[in-house]
A and B are shown apart, each in its own frame.
Chain A
């Protein structure tokens, strides 16, 4: 299992890239075409791009999320059973402590989206610590940008729907109580902050946390393995063992990050919607 490791630690060219280590960030088709195996990027089949391991795990994650919510919300009783209790606990956490506390009385409009992103992100993040997958889906930045775009559309759409296009733009770019002399400075800053920086940081934060976390795990686990089994000096083998032990701590940290990032993304989305529809901000 580990004896032929000497070379695969280094990314190889084309399709022969290793399927673990740093190469795990590269999507692989589940049904590779001949063009893909030959590295002929001009003639990839559509399945090489649309049916990859990472897209598959995102789909599985979504299916798990949908399945979970349909399961716990099926046949609900006034007096909850075990299954319903778990569902209610999670639902109430998002409904009461995230949506209602941040959004106020309009929260029910946005609650479905908040529940969706929270559960979708947390499940996919936990894939980073889950056997079979061992890869957090959102360390592929495309997924993170997708969610950031939807959130951006949602909060701007909510603001425009409530205040009208120009009313909304005015509210978002001209904060109340700012002296006129400062407006030439404030307006570009507000535009930058509210319309450009927000979605970028949202996507980037999610991606970077998961990407870096997975990378650190790789460093500890693969580095430790390499030091223990491939390199010769005894001191390296000891250091490799220590790295393997530390990898558990990193995994624990990654669990925290996985939950935290899902929560942050959800809270920030609620926050942005709230600032878009707030009476004063």
Chain B
């Protein structure tokens, strides 16, 4: 078993004994079997699971994105609806305001007219009363004055009264002619 002489004509190119050749084959066979039946399936199963997990994650992310997009769309449409509504409300309010203003103006005008009319009536009544009072007083005064001027009491009241009435009627008529 000296190395460089070997056991045959091929020297070290042939094994000392087939044992190592056979053992080598058996060992690689066993390793092969284990890797094939146990190691590789567990790696490949894990890779498949991982790929699924990643793909699932991506799908979930896409779903969430779509959902967010839909929500955004919804919000946008809601926002535009709200804007429309707001402008409508503003418009309505403006109209209502104008109407209220108009109504109030009408009411105020009516009220002022009523107040004016009442004033006029009152004034007329007061004027009439004043005229009456005046006429009576002026009549009295004039009579008293006339009595003093004439120096004697006029006994015939009816005639005197007629004279006064005529006088006052002349007084009334005089400013109208003037």
Binding site for B on A (CB under 8 A): 11, 14, 17, 22-23, 25-27, 49-50, 52, 54-55, 58-59, 61-62, 65-66, 69-70, 73-74, 76-78, 87-88, 91, 95, 108, 111-113, 115-117, 119-120, 140-147, 149-150, 204, 207, 211
Interface centre among A27, A55, A112, A143 (most CB of B within 10 A): A112
Q: How far is the CB of A186 from chain B (nearest CB, A)?
A: 29
B19-27, B85-93, B112-120, B126-134 - interface stretch = B19-27
Q: How far is the CB of B28 from chain A (nearest CB, A)?
A: 6
B50 at the interface (CB under 8 A from A): yes
B174 at the interface (CB under 8 A from A): no
Give the contacting residue for B21; candidates A77, A111, A143; CB below 8 A.
Answer: A143
* A274 vs B42: C-alpha distance when bound (angstroms): 25
> With a CB–CB cut-off of 8 A, which chain A residues contact B43?
73, 76, 87-88, 91, 95
* CB–CB A149/B27 < 8 A: no
Interface centre among B28, B30, B50 (most CB of A within 10 A): B28
* CB–CB A50/B19 < 8 A: yes
| Chain B 151-167: CB-based contact to A (< 8 A → 1; otherwise 0) | 00000000000000000
* CB–CB A54/B20 < 8 A: yes
B32-40, B60-68, B95-103, B137-145 - interface stretch = B32-40
* CB–CB A70/B27 < 8 A: no
Name the residue of chain A whose CB is nearest to the CB of B50. Answer: A78
* CB–CB B15/A49 < 8 A: no
* CB–CB B34/A140 < 8 A: no
Give the contacting residue for B34; candidates A69, A144, A145; CB below 8 A.
Answer: A69
> With a CB–CB cut-off of 8 A, which chain B residues contact A112?
32, 35-36, 39-40
* CB–CB B3/A62 < 8 A: no
> With a CB–CB cut-off of 8 A, which chain B residues contact A108?
40, 44
* CB–CB A141/B49 < 8 A: no
* CB–CB B21/A11 < 8 A: no
* CB–CB B3/A142 < 8 A: no
Give the contacting residue for B38; candidates A59, A70, A150; CB below 8 A.
Answer: A70
B2 at the interface (CB under 8 A from A): yes
* A182 vs B15: C-alpha distance when bound (angstroms): 39
B148 at the interface (CB under 8 A from A): no
* CB–CB B28/A17 < 8 A: no
> With a CB–CB cut-off of 8 A, which chain B residues contact A95?
43
* CB–CB A143/B20 < 8 A: yes
Interface centre among A55, A141, A150 (most CB of B within 10 A): A141
Q: How far is the CB of B107 from chain A (nearest CB, A)?
A: 81
A59-B27, A78-B46, A150-B25 in contact; A142/B15 too (CB < 8 A)?
A: yes
A54-B20, A150-B25 in contact; A78/B31 too (CB < 8 A)?
A: no
B71 at the interface (CB under 8 A from A): no
| Chain B 1-29: CB-based contact to A (< 8 A → 1; otherwise 0) | 11100000000111111111111110111
* CB–CB A66/B30 < 8 A: yes
* CB–CB B53/A78 < 8 A: yes
Q: How far is the CB of A98 from chain B (nearest CB, A)?
A: 14
> With a CB–CB cut-off of 8 A, which chain A residues contact B3?
11, 22-23, 25-26
* CB–CB B21/A145 < 8 A: yes
A27-B20, A140-B20, A141-B15 in contact; A62/B27 too (CB < 8 A)?
A: yes
